[in-house]
């Protein structure tokens, strides 16, 4: 069931998203050679708790951290540990905040130092997939219009699209209906209406769309071990029909 939000509820979600945007602004400068993925998780948790929020991912279905940290071939759900980032890596950061029962969700993939032109293009195209998907959000459109925007641009550039994981509704809990696949699936295709709030999140692989889940039952990696990029924003369709991107992050130029 899709749970629509009124203006007051969207305003509370907006506050959570504002806090999450501030977190990404704090984390981005920390992403550099030598930092451990666990240090990034600690910084995220301390930031959220110090501002009166709660890490939405910590303990969610048993997930053991506040931040998903996903380097290189890790697509999503990387568990922070002692691994240190090195020059040329890329790393996905995915986080959500529960602020008084209202939830936000966003993700960004960042370069670690200087990365290869091949990696730069993957990151750029995946960001473009997200931009095109957001542009497809409008009252009267359908979820598959958003999916088509991601899939068409990614595949036109020769990349694989992850099909097993998708975007989703958000706001009253970390994951709600509707699901928003990154390809045109045979599943439900609801019409977009005012009051919807959802997280759109392209996951695009340099190689094929094949995936594998590691033995920790969380970490999802590319089957061919090629790198993957992941970007995500929380987007609201306001009661007047306008569309607002509630989260933000600054990508290094």
What pLDDT is stored for residue 91 in this prediction? 98
Taking only the tens place, the pLDDT of each residue in 29-73 is: 999 999 999 999 999 999 999 999 999 999 999 999 999 999 999
pLDDT tens digits for range 124-158: 999 999 999 999 999 999 999 999 999 999 999 99
- Please, which pLDDT band fits residue 22 given cuts at 50, 70 and 90? very high
CA distance 46 to 34: 20
- List, in order of start, the domains of the chain with CATH numbers: 7-245 (3.90.230.10)
> What is the pLDDT, as a whole number, of residue 212?
98
Q: What pLDDT, on the 0 to 100 scale, is given for residue 158?
A: 98
| pLDDT number for residue 250 | 82
* pLDDT value at residue 253: 57
**Tokens 């905040």 sit at which residue?**
97
Rounded Cα distance between 143 and 184, Å, is 9
Per the CB < 8 A criterion, the answer to whether 152 and 158 are in contact is no
Rg (Cα) of the chain, in Å, rounded?
17
| Residue-by-residue DSSP string for 51-108 | TT-EESSTTGGG---SSEEEETTEEE-PPP-S-B--TT-EEEEEEEEEETTEEEEEEE
The predicted model gives 217-240 an average pLDDT of: 98
**Average confidence score pLDDT of the chain:** 97
Q: What percent of the chain has pLDDT over 70?
A: 100
Closest CA to 253 of 73, 84, 28: 28
Q: Is residue 174 a contact partner of residue 68, using CB atoms and an 8 Å limit?
A: no
pLDDT at residue number 251: 74
Which pLDDT belongs to residue 236?
Answer: 98
Distance CA 183, CA 165 (A): 10
């Amino acid at each position: 069931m899709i749970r629509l939000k009124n203006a007051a509820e969207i305003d509370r979600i907006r506050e959570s998203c504002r806090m999450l945007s501030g977190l990404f602004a704090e984390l981005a400068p920390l992403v550099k050679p030598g930092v451990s993925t666990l240090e990034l998780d600690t910084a995220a948790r301390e930031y959220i708790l110090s501002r009166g929020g709660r890490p939405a991912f910590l303990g969610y279905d048993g997930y053991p951290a506040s931040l998903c940290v996903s380097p290189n071939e890790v697509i999503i759900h990387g568990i922070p540990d002692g691994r240190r980032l090195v020059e040329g890596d890329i790393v996905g950061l995915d986080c959500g905040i529960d602020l008084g029962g209202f939830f936000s969700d966003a993700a960004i993939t960042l370069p670690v130092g200087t990365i290869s032109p091949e990696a730069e293009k993957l990151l750029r195209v995946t960001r473009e997939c997200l931009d095109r998907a957001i542009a497809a959000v409008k009252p009267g459109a359908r979820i598959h219009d958003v999916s088509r925007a991601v899939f068409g641009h990614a595949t036109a550039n020769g990349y694989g699209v992850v099909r097993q994981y998708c975007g989703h509704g958000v706001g009253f809990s970390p994951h709600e209906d509707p699901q928003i696949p990154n390809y045109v699936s045979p599943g439900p295709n609801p019409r977009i209406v005012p009051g919807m709030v959802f997280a759109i999140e392209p996951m695009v692989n340099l190689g094929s769309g094949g995936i594998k889940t590691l033995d920790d039952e969380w970490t999802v990696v590319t089957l061919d071990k090629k790198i993957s990029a992941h970007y995500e924003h929380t987007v609201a369709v306001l009661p007047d029909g306008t569309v607002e991107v509630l989260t933000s992050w600054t990508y290094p130029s």
